[in-house]
């Protein structure tokens, strides 16, 4: 890792129980930061935090539940003096044609991917403002740039993240840098929750060939955060080299 930091900072990572969030927690910990792992699966974040040892704490939290995010923020303030970095990573992808009327899936994606990120940023913003130098990293997707048949509402949540992120960037500069990360296909658990029959088969086939790992994305995030404060990386779109 080429992102060793001189000054340890407190990084809060949502969706840290698997995939990109877990890999980011590991990468930022390796870079010398204090990491706070948030997710609903307490057993997984506890195991990861225990494995990391010093400078890692796990706080079970659901980004759709404002009270649980508020309780997590209170703990971060009390135990670590506040957050310097927020990684809005928690997300779900429940695909299928719009005509399949997966109304519950649409609502869940909007609540987790879009409202979850907005709520978490809102709750942690006073701590980020109080930090000498703050960072918010919002994990969007190629789907936030290019929508396709069958991913409409997932894409809508990521287009929403992109628009909100740019607005936030302008409002919070220069003290808090806001960065949008837009990955293509990454080998994680993300496709496993899709239930629509034909779509599930197609998406599993696509992800079975995934070449980019969560560690690849985590390394980019760690690199972004390690830039000197006069430089803000606003947006990174990154795909597997063979993704059309
Ligand atoms: N993999 C890809 O191809 C890809 C591409 C572009 C963008 N992304 C984005 O990357 C982010 C991470 O996804 P991933 O690929 O790493 O998939 P993943 O392994 O399924 O991770 C998703 C994470 O989100 C958490 N999460 C889900 N609902 C939550 C809730 N209500 N409250 C708190 N945490 C919640 C999950 O933890 P719990 O279930 O334990 O709560 C899990 O840790 C997502 O925003 C996704 O849209 C992924």
Q: What is the 3-state secondary structure (H, E, C) of the chain?
A: CCCCCCCCCEEEEECCCCHHHHHHHHHHHHCCCEEEEEECCHHHHHHHHHHHCCCEEEEECCCCCHHHHHHHHHHHHHHHCCCCEEEECCCCCCCCCHHHCCHHHHHHHHHHHHHHHHHHHHHHHHHHHHCCCEEEEEECCHHHCCCCCCCHHHHHHHHHHHHHHHHHHHHHCCCEEEEEEEECCCECCHHHHCCCHHHHHHHHHHHHCCCCEHHHHHHHHHHHHCCCCCCCCCEEEECCCCCC
Residue 180, φ and ψ in degrees, nearest 5 = -105, 125
Which of 53, 50, 64 is CA-nearest to residue 15?
64
- CA nearest ligand 1 atom 1, residue: 186
Identify which of 188, 194, 209, 214 to mutate to test ligand 1's pocket (most ligand atoms within 8 A of the CB).
188
pLDDT of residue 6: 55
User: To which residue do tokens 């997710």 refer?
Assistant: 39
pLDDT of residue 1: 46
CA distance 69 to 239: 31
pTM of the full predicted structure? 0.97
Q: Is the CB of 41 under 6 A from ligand 1?
A: yes
Test site for ligand 1: of 113, 159, 190, 236, most ligand atoms within 8 A of the Cβ: 190
Segment-wise mean pLDDT, segments of 10 residues, the chain, 244 residues: 67 98 98 98 98 98 98 98 98 96 96 98 98 96 97 98 98 98 97 93 92 98 98 98 92
Q: What is the Å distance from ligand 1's center to 108 Cα? A: 13
Ligand 1 centroid–CA 230 distance in Å is 30
CA dihedral 163, 186, 43, 179 (to 10 degrees): -30
18 lines ligand 1 (CB under 6 A): yes
Q: Is the CB of 189 under 6 A from ligand 1?
A: yes
Q: Give the chain's largest Cα–Cα span.
A: 52
pLDDT at 5 (0 to 100): 53
Residue 171 burial (C-beta neighbours within 10 Å; 0-12, 13-18, 19+): exposed
pLDDT number for residue 2: 44
Ligand 1 center to 205 CA (angstroms)? 19
State whether the Cα torsion 25-49-189-124 is positive or negative: negative
Binding site membership of 12 for ligand 1 (Cβ less than 6 Å):
no
Catalytic residue selected from 106, 124, 154, 164: 154
Asked whether 90 lines ligand 1 (CB < 6 A), one says yes
Tell me how far the alpha carbon of residue 89 lies from the centroid of ligand 1, in angstroms.
Answer: 6
For the question of residue 154 being annotated catalytic, the response is yes
CATH architecture of the domain with residue range 10-238: 3-Layer(aba) Sandwich (3.40)
For residues 118 and 107, the answer to whether their CB atoms sit within 8 Å is no
């Amino acid at each position: 890792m080429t992102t060793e930091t001189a000054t340890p900072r407190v990084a809060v990572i949502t969706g840290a129980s698997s995939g990109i969030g877990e890999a980011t927690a590991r990468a930022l910990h390796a870079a010398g930061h204090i990491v706070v792992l948030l997710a609903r699966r307490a057993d997984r974040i506890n195991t990861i935090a225990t494995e990391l040892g010093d400078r890692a704490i796990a706080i079970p939290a659901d980004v759709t539940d404002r009270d649980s995010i508020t309780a997590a923020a209170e703990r971060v303030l009390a135990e670590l003096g506040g957050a310097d970095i927020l990684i809005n990573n928690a997300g779900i992808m429940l695909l299928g044609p719009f005509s399949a009327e997966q109304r519950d899936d649409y609502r869940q994606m909007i609540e987790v991917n879009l409202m979850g990120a907005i709520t978490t940023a809102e709750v942690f913003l006073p701590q980020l403002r109080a930090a000498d130098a703050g960072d918010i990293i919002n994990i969007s997707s190629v789907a936030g740039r290019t929508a396709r048949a069958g991913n409409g509402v997932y894409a809508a949540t990521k287009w929403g993240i992109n628009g909100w992120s740019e607005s936030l960037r302008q409002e919070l500069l220069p003290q808090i840098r806001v960065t949008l990360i837009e990955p293509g296909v990454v080998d994680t658990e993300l496709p496993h929750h899709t239930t629509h029959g034909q779509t599930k088969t197609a998406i599993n086939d696509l992800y079975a060939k995934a070449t980019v790992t969560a560690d690849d994305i985590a390394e980019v995030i760690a690199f972004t955060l390690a830039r000197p404060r006069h430089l803000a990386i606003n947006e990174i779109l990154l795909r597997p080299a063979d993704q059309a």
